[in-house]
Amino acid sequence: MAPFPELTQALLGPKTYPDSPSRVNLNDLKSLYPNLDIAHLTVDTSQDLPEQWYIIGVEKR
């Protein structure tokens, strides 16, 4: 069993987000783990090579 089943469910659960299949609801995650420090990076992956990807946003909670 995973040490944090609620965290696993929040990250990998069956929720559907219409604007992105890999989007995580940070409010849900933070409500489950209020003391968890979260840094969410938004990455521009429009280029094929990972070396050409760029961080375009940072959100800390």
**What pLDDT is recorded for position 9?**
60
pLDDT digits (tens, 9 = 90+) for 1-53: 455 666 666 665 555 444 555 667 888 888 888 998 988 888 898 888 889 99
Range of the domain at 16: 5-60
Q: What is the pLDDT of residue 7?
A: 63
Residues 6+ apart with CB under 8 A from 60: 37, 38, 39, 40
> What's the confidence (pLDDT) of residue 13?
54
Domain count, the chain: 1
* Phi, psi dihedral angles at 46 (to 5 degrees): -70, -20
Give me the pLDDT at residue 56, please: 92
